[in-house]
Structure 1
């Protein structure tokens, strides 16, 4: 006996969910009240990340000259004919700025992923 392939069924819930997701995305694109609130939340999250990271970087940058002021003998130290303050700039400050940029991008992208998850989850509860 030949086996017949299983009968195809139409799944309605997945189509409705896609329609809801589309409606929420349209609300964001058309800047309705709901969409505007969601986008403002994303912008606040990214601004918070930027401000906290900037504060941490500023603290480190301000600490470099303060260290030279508190310990004046450090400003005259030379390693291989190069003053220590230039070595600190090259090997500490610039990599710090690069790492801070990478950290910001990572957390900003995570905030965007969370934003998309909120938009998608919101459609599940309607």
Structure 2
């Protein structure tokens, strides 16, 4: 080793890993490509989306069915409600003619918003992987 004058700062040494020269790992495949090529992983992704959409559809359908099916049951179990009149019209007619349509609209709106949210979450997952 050569002697340097004391006023000169020491030389910098670069320390590297022996793996620096190793070949890099192949880039991972995007999840959308897995779906496009219908691989096993792509099927898992699609099955999860379909399962969440089916769960949402069945829950909205069940809630709507309970509410719509509950009205005739209410009228059968509580004859006083079935015989009641409001604004000169029988209450069952008003409920079935007026209440049902806004309820169906709200159920449809809820379903669409939740389905869009499920799809947005699905695309977020795909973009992360």
- Shorter-normalised TM range: 0.7 to 0.9
Q: Which moved more, 1:86-95 or 1:42-51?
A: 86-95
Displaced runs of 4 or more, over 4 A: none
Greater share of residues in helix: 1
The aligned residue for residue 70 of structure 1 is 77
* In structure 1, C-alpha distance between the alignment counterparts of 2:96 and 2:36, rounded to whole Å: 44
Q: Let me know the Cα RMSD of the aligned residues.
A: 1.7
Instruction: Note the alpha carbon deviations across 1:8-33, whole angstroms, 9 max, x for none.
Output: xxxxxxxxxxx867x32122122111
Rg larger for:
2
Provide the TM-score with structure 1 as the length reference. Answer: 0.73
The aligned residue for residue 120 of structure 2 is 113
The aligned residue for residue 99 of structure 2 is 92
Unaligned runs of 5+ in 2: 1-26
* In structure 1, C-alpha distance between the alignment counterparts of 2:69 and 2:51, rounded to whole Å: 26
Provide the TM-score with structure 2 as the length reference. Answer: 0.72
